[in-house]
Amino acid sequence: MSRAHPGRWLVERSRTGLQEMPANAAWLLSRAVRPARRAGKAVVAAPTGGDSVEARLDRARAAAERAQQAEDAALAAAQESKQRSDHARQVSERARAHVGQVREQASRAVDDRVAEARRAADEQVERARTEARAEAEAHVREAEERAAADTQAAEERAAAAQQRAEQMVAEATHRLAEARQIADEAEEAARAAAAEAHRQATELAAEAGHHAGANGDLDALNKPELLDLAAAIDIAGRTSMTKAELITAIKRASRN
């Protein structure tokens, strides 16, 4: 059977042994002396060749002395056992106290490690947040610079396009004015040419009428010649006229 604590068991055993053992060797002597008082009868009743009462008393005293020595040794052993039990209890108490201290220190160490880990984690998170913020700001600045460069390039291209457009508008305006001037001049020249052509046609018609009246009838001319004459005096619808109609129209124009 296992014992819960060696020191406690030893103390309990020493106390029990001392309680069960007689107080001292005097008890043994009293046990031996009481029969000796009746020694007279014992001597008479003792068989021949047996131990005498005195011999038995000597053995009883020797046994009592041995018992006294055993009692002293037992007392010394009990004292030593008690001392060792007290020492074991003190060692156990110190051990429990030490275990408590170690447990408390371990708990504090765990708390410190956890706090340190939390601080490290917080620092790592803060570093990561700072790095991420810096990286994000760098990306934003890069995007802003790129956007500014693109905007500036677009504005420069727009300004150049506007300048080209203004130049082209100015050139188109100049060319339009020049074309209008040329058109006006052409129109004026056309009017002058038309007037000259009309004058020449009138003269030609008059000459043709005069020629027709002086040299005989227009019937002597063929149709192509009549068409040329009608074109010279600008007779409308001449291409669809017959030869007779052309002669009549030419004569009418000559009279007019």
Q: How many residues does the chain have?
A: 256
pLDDT of 31 strictly over 60? no
Q: Give 14: exposed, middle or buried? Use CB within 10 Å, 0-12, 13-18, 19+.
A: buried
Q: 24: pLDDT confidence band, cut at 50, 70 and 90? A: low
Within a domain: residue 50?
yes
Domain that residue 224 falls in = 195-255
Quote the pLDDT of residue 9. 47
**More confident site: 236 or 26:** 236
Instruction: Please give the average per-residue pLDDT across 51-62, as a whole number.
Output: 87
Q: Both tokens of residue 45?
A: 């009743």
Structure confidence at residue 27 (pLDDT): 53
Residue 142 lies in a domain: no
Give a yes or no: residue 169 inside a domain. no
Domain end call among 119, 145, 160: 119
- Mean pLDDT calculated for residue range 155-170: 91
pLDDT on residue 12 = 57
Three-state SS across 141-202? HHHHHHHHHHHHHHHHHHHHHHHHHHHHHHHHHHHHHHHHHHHHHHHHHHHHHHHHHHHHHH
Q: What are the tokens at 38?
A: 């009746």
Q: pLDDT band at 192, cuts 50/70/90? A: confident
Of the two residues 107 and 20, the one the predictor is more confident about is 107
Last residue of a domain, one of 98, 119, 140: 119
In a domain, 43, yes or no: yes
User: Is position 149 within any domain?
Assistant: no
Least confident of 26-35, 102-111, 166-175: 26-35
Q: How confident is the model at residue 70, as a pLDDT?
A: 92
Indicate if 15 and 101 belong to the same structural domain.
yes
Q: What is the pLDDT of residue 190?
A: 81
Looking at the domain assignment, is residue 173 inside a domain? no
Q: Do the domain assignments include residue 186?
A: no
Residue 182 is assigned to a structural domain of this protein: no
Q: What is the per-residue pLDDT for 240?
A: 92
> The tokens of 204 are what?
């030609």
| End-of-domain residue from the set 68, 88, 119 | 119
Structure-token pair, residue 42: 């014992």
Structure tokens of 122?
A: 């917080």
List, in order, residues 6 or more apart from 207 with CB less than 8 Å away: none
The predicted model gives 186-205 an average pLDDT of 75
- 14 contacts 75 by C-beta, under 8 angstroms: no
Number of domains in the chain: 2
Confidence grade of residue 149 (pLDDT, cut at 50, 70, 90): very high
Amino acid, single-letter form, for residue 175: R
Longest dimension (CA), the chain: 232
Average pLDDT over residues 30-58: 60
Mean per-residue pLDDT for 223-236? 88
Same domain, 21 and 107: yes
